[in-house]
Amino acid sequence: MRLKDKVTLITGGAVGIGKATAVRFAEEGAAVVICDVDQQRGTETLEKLGPDAAFYRVDVTDRGAVGNWVAGVLEKFGRIDVLVNNAGIVRDSLLVKMKDGELIRQMPVEDFDLVVAVNLKGVFNCTQAVVPAMIRQGGGVILNASSIVGLDGNLGQTNYIATKAGVIGMTKVWARELGRHNIRVNAVAPGFTATDIISSVPESILAGMKQRTPLGRLGQPLDIANAYLFLASDEAGFISGNVLRVDGGLVVGT
C-alpha cells in the first residue's frame, strides 16, 4: 500500500499505459482520478479502480477544461498528491519525402501542431493547473511521459520527438523551480511498448523491435506502470529531475 490515501491524477487514463498505471496505483491504495477524451473506455476503466476513483472527460489541450477538472478534483478530494502526465498521441511522417528531385510528401503542419498540443502543451496545462494546490498543501509528485525517442531520435517522428524531448526539458526545469516546495518532478521514457499505438504495426516490424531490444521482448504497460509507482512512492523521496528509461536496454537505431 505504497500510495495509501494518495489522490492521484492520471491523464490519458482510459487505455494502455495510463490504464495500467491507474489500476496499479489503485492496488497500492491510491484514490485514482483519470481523465481521457474517450468516454466509453474511461467509464470501463473506472469500474476497475474501486470506490474512491473518478473519471472525467477532459481534453488536455483545453486549458479551461483542465482547470475545471482540477477544481472539481480538489472540491471532491481536497488535495492532489500525484499527477501523471500520460496523455499522448502519434502522427508519424517523414519530414519530407522526395523522388527524382520532386517533393512528393511531407509531414503536415496540422499533424505537427496537434501532437505538440496534446503531448507538450497538455503537460504544461495540467501541471500548471495542479501545482498551486501542491504548493499550498506542502508537496507532491509530478510524473511526465517522455520516450526513448525523445533521447535517441527516430525516423518519421519529428513532431513526437519534439514533444518528448520538450517534456524532458520541462521536467528538469520544474524540478529546479518546485523542489523548494517539496514537489518532486521526474519523467519516464518507455521503449517499444505493447499498447494500442502499435497495434496496427505489422508483425515483421514488431519482430524487428524485439530483436533490437536486448531483453528480447516488447515492454508491457505494467512495466511502465511499475516505474511510475516507484517514482510516485516515498521510496523515491530523493529522486527529482531525472528521466528513467524503461526500455529493455534498447538504444534506438542500433
- Quickly state the pLDDT bin for 246 (edges 50, 70, 90): very high
Indicate if the pLDDT at residue 24 is higher than 90: yes
The 3-class secondary structure across 6-17, one letter per residue, is: CEEEEECCCCHH
Catalytic residues: 160
Indicate if the pLDDT at residue 250 is higher than 90: no
17 lies in some domain? yes
- Quickly state the pLDDT bin for 195 (edges 50, 70, 90): confident
233 lies in some domain? yes
76 lies in some domain? yes
85 lies in some domain? yes
pLDDT of residue 187: 98
Task: Return the axis-axis angle of helices 122-137 and 63-77, rounded to nearest 10°.
Answer: 30
Quick one: which of 102, 94, 105, 204 has its CA closest to 160? 94
Average pLDDT over every residue of 175-200: 89
- Quickly state the pLDDT bin for 105 (edges 50, 70, 90): very high
1 lies in some domain? no
- Quickly state the pLDDT bin for 110 (edges 50, 70, 90): very high
Percentage of the chain modeled with pLDDT above 70: 96
Output the domain CATH number for residue 220: 3.40.50.720
Give me the number of domains the chain comprises.
1
Q: How many helices (H) and strands (E) does the chain have?
A: 9, 9
254 lies in some domain? no
pTM, two decimals, is 0.93
Q: Which domain holds residue 122?
A: 7-246
For residues 192 and 209, is the Cβ–Cβ distance under 8 A?
yes
pLDDT tens per residue, range 159-182: 999 999 999 999 999 999 999 999
Largest CA distance in the chain: 62
pLDDT of residue 252: 62
pLDDT of residue 44: 96
251 lies in some domain? no
Indicate if the pLDDT at residue 104 is higher than 90: yes
